[in-house]
Amino acid sequence: MLQTLYDHFWWDRLWLPVNLTWADLEDRDGRVYAKASDLYITLPLALVFLVIRYFFELYVATPLAALLNVKEKTRLRAPPNVTLEHFYLTNGKQPKQVEVELLSRQSGLSGRQIERWFRRRRNQDRPSLLKKFREASWRFTFYLIAFVAGMAVIVDKPWFYDLRKVWEGYPIQSIVPSQYWYYMIELSFYWSLLFSIASDVKRKDFKEQIIHHVATIILLSFSWFANYVRAGTLIMALHDSSDYLLESAKMFNYAGWKNTCNNIFIVFAIVFIITRLVIMPFWILHCTLVYPLELYPAFFGYYFFNIMMAVLQMLHIFWAYFILRMAHKFITGKLVEDERSDREETESSEGEEAAAGAGAKSRLLSNGHPILNNNHPKND
């Protein structure tokens, strides 16, 4: 049964153009081709990345945070209360008005005191500023190195300048060691992101992040064993070109360098829009949809690859929506916040709410510029 499924999955007609078989991609005459078995190394490498990340955050990101004077906000802790704690853990973090009244009778506290307790308790569970800075530092370091390395891998290739050469001789296209390691390291990193997503800072687009990581892993894996390597390297470099800018903007935001953060975010937004909403659909997607059909009839692998590309493109549009909303707030001079972030709640009891509102107005501008608060959308 398993052998039958295996044979059907690897049927030549699914993944390769007509009149070609896997035998055509066997290594010979010193030419090496991509193979599905190469991907086994990515799982242990993903675990290596998690170990490297742990020591990086401990011995590099943490001292860097201290150097940049990343300061934690003072959080008022919710006083111990067995009744409210049990409800918080079993029923939900935001009780409805009817539930607040019931808890008030059970605990002997007023409704306002209960609401304040739940605000403080929710804030206790929110990730610390240091945790956010560490994560952003790790991703910034990887994306910057990956972008530089990726450009070094592809900048001297003819298909970098002429996209028709991506399909020249396909799929009989041998690979070089730099392409192999570029693929394995990128794929391993995305596996590590997927493994750690449950413990990382959780944002409102949590589900979209999972879809993105899974789609990226599937796309990279398929493009490797079906030898879409030339197109894959272009796609990876395109994505890395803006990601490190976003993570650096987050780092400066957490450090309180608001003007620097805002300026980097503007650059990030421009690069993101150009690469993800212009180059990606009108150059890369055009390359993968149109040019292959000039050489061979469409087959399942062709449709599968482009469907996964379409999923990524829809996610790009989803995140571009938030980026443009933030850009609009820049132009109108309003406070800019990460549309995905779960903001820390402030005390809003009598007298406090008015003071908080006045404080927000006084903090609206920093050196004449709108302040960029919290995180920004993370993409591919």
CB 205 within 8 A of CB 316: no
How far is CA 127 from each of CA 87, 171, 328, rounded to the nearest angstrom?
Answer: 21, 47, 28
Beta strands in 82-186 (DSSP E): none
Mean pLDDT of the chain, nearest integer:
83
Q: Give per-residue burial for 107-126: e unless 16+ CB within 10 Å, then b.
A: bebeeebbbbbbbbbbbeeb
* Residues 346/324/275/188 CA torsion (nearest 10 deg): 20
Least confident residue range of 30-39, 149-158, 204-213, 256-265: 204-213
Question: Which structure tokens are listed for 23?
Answer: 């035998």
**Mean pLDDT across the stretch 20-46?**
91
Which of these, 127, 133, 128, lies nearest to 62 by C-alpha position?
Answer: 133
92 secondary structure, DSSP code: -
Its pTM stands at: 0.78
Return the DSSP state at 37: G
Of residues 378 and 98, more confidence is placed in: 98
Can you give the pLDDT at residue 334? Answer: 60
Structural contact between residues 166 and 287, judged by C-beta atoms closer than 8 angstroms: yes
Q: What is the pLDDT of residues 307-339, one digit of tens each?
A: 989 988 998 999 899 888 887 776 666 644 455
**205 pLDDT exceeds 70?**
no
SS3 65: helix
> CB-hemisphere CA count at 13 Å for 75?
19
The Cα 190–Cα 173 span in angstroms is 25
Query: How far, in Å, CA of 23 to CA of 367, rounded?
Result: 65
238-257 pLDDT, tens digit each: 999 999 999 999 999 999 89
- Band of pLDDT at residue 298, cut at 50, 70 and 90: very high
pLDDT at 368: 37
Count, in order, helices (H) and strands (E) of the chain.
Answer: 15, 4
Query: Sorting pLDDT into bands at 50, 70 and 90, what band is 9?
Result: confident
Question: What one-character DSSP code corresponds to residue 200?
Answer: S
pLDDT at 353 over 80: no
| pLDDT tens digits for range 186-200 | 999 999 999 998 888
**Residue pair 239/346 in contact by the 8 Å Cβ criterion:** no
User: Of all helices (H) and strands (E), which one includes residue 191?
Assistant: helix 177-196
Task: State the Cα–Cα distance between residues 380 and 375, nearest whole angstrom.
Answer: 16
Closest CA to 178 of 205, 152, 216: 152
3-class state of residue 336 by DSSP: strand
Q: Kindly report, residue by residue over 133-180, the tens digit of the pLDDT.
A: 999 999 999 999 999 999 999 999 999 999 999 999 888 899 999 999
Going from the C-alpha of 81 to that of each of 76, 117, 123, 172, the distances in angstroms are 15, 9, 16, 68
Residue among 164, 2, 137, 1 at smallest CA distance from 56: 137
3-state helix, strand, coil in the chain (%, to 5): 70, 5, 30
- Rounded distance, CA 325 to CA 332, Å? 11
Which pLDDT score is estimated for 104?
A: 86
pLDDT at 267: 92
Structural domains of the chain sorted by starting position, each given as residue range(s) with its CATH number in brackets: 27-67+128-332 (no CATH), 82-125 (1.10.10)
Distances (CA, A) of 300 to 261, 269, 292: 45, 35, 13
Residue 354: what pLDDT? 34
Look at residue 119 in the predicted model and tell me its pLDDT.
86
Using one digit for the tens of pLDDT, what is the confidence trace for 224-236?
988 999 999 999 9
Q: By three-state DSSP, how is residue 129 classified?
A: helix
